[in-house]
Amino acid sequence: MKKIPTLCPACTSKLEITELKCKTCGTILQGEFPLNRLLSLSEEDKKFLMVFLRSRGNIKEVQERLGISYPTVKNRLDKLLKAMALFNESEGLKEKEILENLENKEITVSEAVKLIKEIKS
């Protein structure tokens, strides 16, 4: 199956579907149909998403399957969320700061868990 192009080959702007055709009867629909967010993902992001879903969101399992560190998994997840326009910038920054504080041993694991739970609620 051919991959649907998502970027203009001339200027790299996002492409938009403007025509759909039925192979059976030849009916043509014209309009502006945005591309599905998943179609716009890079191959790397699609692979990461598949591993993330197969792992049921278990970051430790994603780490093991891809052979990458916890911060790398979090960064890739943030990148994926941004690509799909689902990223809450302030929430991501807060979590990153909490994790950095934990890594630098400025807070305990239980404190980090509590802070992250507060963000999520």
The alpha helices in 55-88, defined as continuous H runs, are 59-66, 70-83
pLDDT at 20 over 80: yes
CB 49, CB 37: distance < 8 Å: no
> Rg for the chain (alpha carbons), in Å?
20
- Measured from the Cβ of residue 99, the count of other Cβ atoms closer than 10 Å reads 17
Using DSSP, how many helices (H) and how many strands (E) does the chain show? 5, 2
- Note the pLDDT tens digit of each residue in 106-115: 888 988 888 8
Q: When comparing pLDDT for 4 and 54, which is higher?
A: 54
Closest to 31 measured CA to CA, from 21, 46, 47, 17: 17
- Model confidence over 71-103: pLDDT tens digits? 899 889 888 888 887 876 666 667 788 888 888
What is the rounded average pLDDT of the residues 37-58?
90
